[in-house]
Structure 1
Amino acid sequence: MQQDNTENHSPDHPIVWIVDDDASIRWVLNESLEDRPYQVRSFDSAFEALRLLPTERPTVVISDVRMPGMDGLEFMEAIHEHDKDIPVIIMTAHADLDTAVKSFQSRAFEYLPKPFEIDDALMIIDRAVKRQLSGGKRVRKVKQTKQPLNIIGSAPAMQEVFRILGRVSQLDVTVLITGETGTGKELVARALYELSSRSNRPFVAINTAAIPRDLLESELFGHEKGAFTGAHTQRVGRFEEANGGTLFLDEIGDMPVDLQTRLLRVLNDGTFYRVGGKTPIKTDVRIVAATHQNMQELVKQGRFREDLLYRLNVIRIKVPALRERREDILPIVRYYLTEEAKSYGLEEKRLSKAVEKYLVELPWPGNVRQIRSLCTWLTIMAPDKTVHMEDLPLELQNGSEPLAMSAGGASASEDSDDWETPLRSWAKHFLNAGRTELHTEAEKIFEKALIEVAMKHSMNHRQKAAQLLGWGRNTLTRKTQALGLDD
């Protein structure tokens, strides 16, 4: 079925095609584009759109991925076979790394995970139209990855990680990965490597915080025989080992300042000297760095070179903490329960409903690494196939209280009208843990919940959400930024 709003627009105006089997998405985008000088056509299937392609050239196409008959990636291929310069924006409610990567490798203009903010979608459409009208050309199609990539995440914060990974997968740029300890920064670094054109060359990782300062220089750059006491033979460093491939510098914020200077020189001209050496060595490596620290704060403290940060921070990927993506906790737990069972040759464990609810509400300060350790423990120690509350480690039962528990100990229902009882219980746990600033912390949680509900109710239309909350749009923007909801 085809719909359009062309009656109000000149035939010379840009043509936007919306292709999605979800009528609500077509309607929202159609209505939102009413005020723009575009001719908009809506289709409920890729086949309907392709029938019109011989007689009409769209300026921009925005398409869903999962549709009956022909999916969005196949549709994009068909569009580009007809005209490789038509920008196609890919939407999906089932965002994962594989879809993001395949979208960009198939020359998608942009990747838009659902649910999305209408303002963001309009901005991307406007940008695509502007590029087309200015005569811009699409980048070439790049090779498809063959590696299975086991990064789990359906939360919006992880979808942004996938979008960036897909965008930079074939670009030989330096990347800085940030995130708390245990969030999976090295996994993201390995994904960058596996997706890159350097995937058939070495991946070399070094944790700069784990190597003593007086040995780190030799580890990175190697040394000549006799360079220092104990240097009985020549040694190749990590830069030489990684030549042609990727060098992953973990915990880059802990690198001594004098070595930062040497690293900057390598980034500038691609050459270095071994310790005690006099001959410059040329190297060709892609640098991926990671840190759990606030790099700007380290620069202010004089502990990290600002010019080096600029060279490392070409593309930044922020890996979210688990508390920022609670919908991913159970899929991650299930994945590691399967993997640990395979690793130890034991029966795979299953979680009871009570345990599932409990785990989702834990704070997880150790993030994914803590979950993996728990899954190893449960695989080995839990007596039965199904894991019950009493099977959890004592420190997890007693030391990490869930965020929102009812007075009886069970999780409060999301649909319950009695929100005061779990709030009182949460406040009690908060104070019993010796923490302070109860009102400040509760206010953040309260406002975050209200904003998320209002945004969902308004289908992510920021102006309508602000009206529902009784705020101005600027107030909503300020609060979402302060609460980290815009990350």
Structure 2
Amino acid sequence: MKPIWIVDDDESIRWVLEKALARENLATRSFSNARDANDALAHDTPQVLVSDIRMPGGSGLDLLQTVKTNHPGLPVIIITAFSDLDSAVAAFQGGAFEYLAKPFDVDRAVELIRRALDESLREASVEQASAETPEILGQAPAMQDVFRAIGRLSQSNVTVLITGESGTGKELVARALHKHSPRAAQPFIALNTAAIPKDLLESELFGHERGAFTGAQATRRGRFEQAEGGTLFLDEIGDMPFDLQTRLLRVLSDGHFYRVGGHQPLKANVRVIAATHQNLEQRVREGLFREDLYHRLNVIRLRLPSLRERREDIPILTRYFLTQSAKQLGVEAKRMTDSAMQFLAGLDLPGNVRQLENLCNWITVMAPGQNVETKDLPRELIEGGSIAVGLPAASELAAVSPVAVGPLLQQPAAPAVAQEREGWVTLLEAEAARMLAAGRPEVMDVLGRMFESALIKTALKHTHGRKNDAAIRLGIGRNTITRKIQELGIDGAKDD
């Protein structure tokens, strides 16, 4: 994590903030004037910037303007005297995250910086996810048609509607369209509109102003602002609430939008790519989707084939996913026998490529030998059923040892459907059956410790290591989580 920059000509204020943040294990870097901070921004950036308004060698508001021009996602906290409240208003209009009025309470300042830090890390995680673009693999004629379409659209900014069954790789295609477009150097921001509660989706898309609703303690940028100059991918667009469809149509029509609770129009220079597994024409006929928005989105339609339509790609996809999964775990990649590969190629996998990837993750962890035979595949698959499509993706296996399956008990981050919620239960049952068959002692204790460890580690990661916050999120007491962290040997926890 990058340090927090403190810009103030008052040495005592710099010292107090440095010491307070050091107690929180947060690194700092201090500047006595805005000019030096501005020069440093040319080759480095902080995680959060805290700046006074009135300083020799340049105003904090000028520094704020520079930051918002070149680093729009960087939270800036302005320090102001009570006599400078007009300047504080100007700071908010200029995009400041929040302001501190002198004299300020140190604990309040640290709490505010913590909130800004969480926002900054959220922005950073979006950027990191945008930079990680997996491969699109396929030799089947149906996929070659998709590749040709991506090539034809490479120099275009036209709106694209991607259709296809769940798990066919619609987001990968959207990322490829962005990567090969004139906007490639700018952000790619993805949002699954079905995964966000209706009452939060508007704020997620358009951002909100401080005080716009209960809990809105600071101004927050939405996905349109994050994607400025780049591409916004709206997945499962068919599930967007009807009233938000109207707001989206307005943005696509005139290129302007308002934050929730805001009165100042913001300009959106964003290419929109939408995707859905639903029949939008049918939803229009049923009155569930605006016809005018449908026509705005359906400029170029790109249909992705199901895995059933490209069975010849199953072997190459399987080998790729097995290699990726093994690399995440730090183990040797499993190999499918010819008969097992032939069996896979003949399956109708309703979850398509995503289900095949999840199956490869299961094989990497659960299959007994290096050479995987048909009998080593999940029982439900062999008996003619289908495995749950919500097994963990390769990125979720990074921290799992070859023998530990605890983190596999985490629920997937994707929208939870009934099958996905059952994915980790299936894995738990399979591991319990294996241990019981092998005569392993204390099965309940071993799996229980793995389960508790996975939950606590996930909660600590979510709260950046703050165990008190993690205890609250998990619904357990502070003493309980402290005891379990010690019993389970979990590292990285700290007091709030």
TM-score by length of 2: 0.50
Contact 1:147/1:194 (8 A) holds in 2: no
Matched, 1:304 2:289: yes
Question: For residues 165 and 352 of structure 1, what CA distance do their matches in structure 2 show?
Answer: 34
Matched, 1:381 2:371: no
Question: For residues 360 and 290 of structure 1, what CA distance do their matches in structure 2 show?
Answer: 27
Matched, 1:252 2:237: yes
Question: For residues 353 and 239 of structure 1, what CA distance do their matches in structure 2 show?
Answer: 48
Matched, 1:232 2:217: yes
Matched, 1:195 2:180: yes
Indicate which of 316, 320, 328 corresponds to 2:301: 316
Correspondence list, 1:104-123, <5 A: none
1:221 corresponding residue in structure 2: 206
1:277 corresponding residue in structure 2: 262
Tell me the CA shift for residue 267 of structure 1.
0.6
Indicate which of 358, 377, 400 corresponds to 2:385: 400
Q: Which amino acid aligns with 1:156?
A: P
Tell me the CA shift for residue 218 of structure 1.
0.5
SS for the counterpart of 1:317 is strand
Question: For residues 150 and 287 of structure 1, what CA distance do their matches in structure 2 show?
Answer: 22
Matched, 1:343 2:323: no
Tell me the CA shift for residue 152 of structure 1.
1.2
SS for the counterpart of 1:165 is helix
Question: For residues 232 and 144 of structure 2, what CA distance do their matches in structure 1 show?
Answer: 25
Matched, 1:371 2:356: yes
Contact 1:147/1:195 (8 A) holds in 2: no
SS for the counterpart of 2:249 is helix
Give the ranges of 4+ consecutive aligned residues of structure 1 lying more than 2 Å apart after TM superposition.
146-149
Contact 2:231/2:273 (8 A) holds in 1: yes
Where structure 1 has 5 or more consecutive residues not aligned to the other structure, the ranges are 1-145, 402-487
Deviations 1:170-202 (A, max 9, x none): 101111110101111111111111111111111
Question: For residues 185 and 226 of structure 1, what CA distance do their matches in structure 2 show?
Answer: 36
Tell me the CA shift for residue 235 of structure 1.
1.2
2:128 corresponding residue in structure 1: none
2:138 corresponding residue in structure 1: 153
Question: For residues 387 and 367 of structure 1, what CA distance do their matches in structure 2 show?
Answer: 21
Question: For residues 315 and 299 of structure 2, what CA distance do their matches in structure 1 show?
Answer: 33
Q: Which amino acid aligns with 2:231?
A: T
Deviations 1:111-139 (A, max 9, x none): xxxxxxxxxxxxxxxxxxxxxxxxxxxxx
Question: For residues 357 and 269 of structure 1, what CA distance do their matches in structure 2 show?
Answer: 53
Q: 1:160 to 1:147 in 2, by over 3 A?
A: farther
Question: For residues 273 and 149 of structure 1, what CA distance do their matches in structure 2 show?
Answer: 34
Deviations 1:373-416 (A, max 9, x none): 11111111112111011210111111339xxxxxxxxxxxxxxx
Matched, 1:168 2:153: yes
Correspondence list, 1:12-51, <5 A: none
Question: For residues 145 and 312 of structure 2, what CA distance do their matches in structure 1 show?
Answer: 15
Question: For residues 271 and 193 of structure 1, what CA distance do their matches in structure 2 show?
Answer: 22
Deviations 1:285-308 (A, max 9, x none): 010111000010010001101111
Contact 1:189/1:288 (8 A) holds in 2: yes
Contact 1:270/1:284 (8 A) holds in 2: yes
Contact 1:363/1:400 (8 A) holds in 2: no
Question: For residues 217 and 366 of structure 1, what CA distance do their matches in structure 2 show?
Answer: 29
Question: For residues 303 and 220 of structure 1, what CA distance do their matches in structure 2 show?
Answer: 20
2:458 corresponding residue in structure 1: none
2:226 corresponding residue in structure 1: 241
SS for the counterpart of 1:205 is strand
SS for the counterpart of 2:146 is helix
Indicate which of 247, 253, 267 corresponds to 1:268: 253
Question: For residues 338 and 236 of structure 2, what CA distance do their matches in structure 1 show?
Answer: 38
Identify the structure with the greater helix proportion: 2
SS for the counterpart of 1:228 is coil
1:461 corresponding residue in structure 2: none
Q: Which amino acid aligns with 1:204?
A: I
Q: 1:286 to 1:210 in 2, by over 3 A?
A: same
2:126 corresponding residue in structure 1: none
Q: Which amino acid aligns with 2:236?
A: E
Question: For residues 134 and 354 of structure 2, what CA distance do their matches in structure 1 show?
Answer: 18
Identity percentage of aligned residues: 63
Deviations 1:323-367 (A, max 9, x none): 111111111111101111111111111111110111111010110
Aligned-residue Cα RMSD (Å) equals 1.6
Tell me the CA shift for residue 147 of structure 1.
10
Question: For residues 147 and 250 of structure 1, what CA distance do their matches in structure 2 show?
Answer: 17
Tell me the CA shift for residue 149 of structure 1.
6.7
1:362 corresponding residue in structure 2: 347
Where structure 2 has 5 or more consecutive residues not aligned to the other structure, the ranges are 1-130, 387-496
SS for the counterpart of 2:383 is helix
Question: For residues 227 and 147 of structure 1, what CA distance do their matches in structure 2 show?
Answer: 34
Q: Which amino acid aligns with 1:322?
A: L
Q: Which amino acid aligns with 1:234?
A: T
TM-score by length of 1: 0.51
Q: 1:209 to 1:147 in 2, by over 3 A?
A: closer
Tell me the CA shift for residue 148 of structure 1.
8.3
Question: For residues 309 and 175 of structure 1, what CA distance do their matches in structure 2 show?
Answer: 11
1:330 corresponding residue in structure 2: 315
2:273 corresponding residue in structure 1: 288
Question: For residues 325 and 223 of structure 1, what CA distance do their matches in structure 2 show?
Answer: 44
Question: For residues 186 and 282 of structure 1, what CA distance do their matches in structure 2 show?
Answer: 25
Deviations 1:100-120 (A, max 9, x none): xxxxxxxxxxxxxxxxxxxxx
How many positions carry a matched residue from both structures?
Answer: 256
SS for the counterpart of 1:325 is helix
Q: Which amino acid aligns with 2:166?
A: T
Question: For residues 230 and 343 of structure 1, what CA distance do their matches in structure 2 show?
Answer: 38
Deviations 1:459-481 (A, max 9, x none): xxxxxxxxxxxxxxxxxxxxxxx
